Amino acid sequence: MNQEIKYYIYILLIFGIVSVILQSVLTPFIMISVWQPDFVLVIVLLMGMRFGSIGGSSAGLILGFIQDALSPLPVGITALPKVIAGYAAGKMRSIGLEGTMYYLWFVILILVHEIIVYLFFQYISELSFGYLIYSRVFPNTIYTTIILFFINLFTRSYFSE
């Protein structure tokens, strides 16, 4: 096994498990009404940025299934959007985006992730999709983006080459 794969597994275990624990334990305390950040998505995006599309989508699948297993929602409802977001974050790396453009795409990917999650969520709730867009998707996107900036600020050395 080469060093890059070992480093990927190390980062996935450390940051992935910490993000799942933060999502389960800390999120209920920092929720604003029904708005909540997605720590797992932040790690998936950063893994895609660092390790490419295969690494990002693999992290999205693994961490998404773990997150789904710990939530009362059906298994896979957040795993699929995380796989898509991790893959797209990795593809942006291969395009060569840097700096502000990378973070603009992160905001778009967070928005797409939230839209897909709440598209599935509307089928198990009595709320309309339009209501979910402005009451949950947009605030959650802003909240997760703020968390992304703070986490990236403190973990930049781990997720850069």
Please say if the pLDDT value at position 156 is more than 90.
no
Q: Which residue has the higher pLDDT, 1 or 82?
A: 82
pLDDT at 127 over 90: no
CB 79 within 8 A of CB 37: no
- Please check the confidence at residue 143 and state whether its pLDDT lies above 80: yes
- pLDDT score of 36 more than 80: yes
Q: Is the dihedral of CA 62, 47, 88, 28 positive or negative?
A: positive
Domain ranges of the chain: 3-27+34-155
pLDDT above 90: residue 124: no
Mean pLDDT of 126-154: 91
Q: What is the mean pLDDT of the chain?
A: 90
47: CB partners within 8 A, 6+ apart: 8, 11, 12, 15, 55, 56, 59, 60, 86, 89, 159
Tokens at residue 151, please? 């986490």
Check the CA dihedral 69-74-78-80 and report its sign: positive
Q: Which among 69, 25, 61 has a CA at the least distance from the CA of 41?
A: 61
pLDDT, tens digit, 9 for 90 and up, residues 92-113: 877 877 777 888 999 999 999 9
Residue in 107, 115, 121 with CA at minimum distance from that of residue 137: 115
In Å, how far are 66, 94, 98, 99, 140 from 105, measured between CA atoms? 25, 14, 10, 10, 16
Q: Which CATH class is domain 3-27+34-155?
A: mainly alpha
Residue 71 has pLDDT above 90, yes or no: no
Tokens, residue 32: 């604003």
Q: Crossing angle, helix 39-69 and helix 138-155, to 10 degrees? A: 110
User: What is the average pLDDT across 63-89?
Assistant: 90
Q: Is the pLDDT of residue 161 over 80?
A: no
Phi and psi at 150, nearest 5°, equal -70, -45
Residue 12 pLDDT more than 90? Answer: yes
Residue 103: its pLDDT value, please?
Answer: 85
Cα 39 vs. chain centroid, distance in angstroms? 6
User: Rg (Cα) of the chain, in Å, rounded?
Assistant: 15
Residue 123: pLDDT above 90?
Answer: no
* pLDDT bracket for residue 128 (50, 70, 90): confident
37-51 confidence digits (pLDDT tens): 999 999 999 999 999
Nearest partner of 112 among 62, 34, 60, judged by Cα: 60
Give pLDDT, residue 121.
Answer: 84
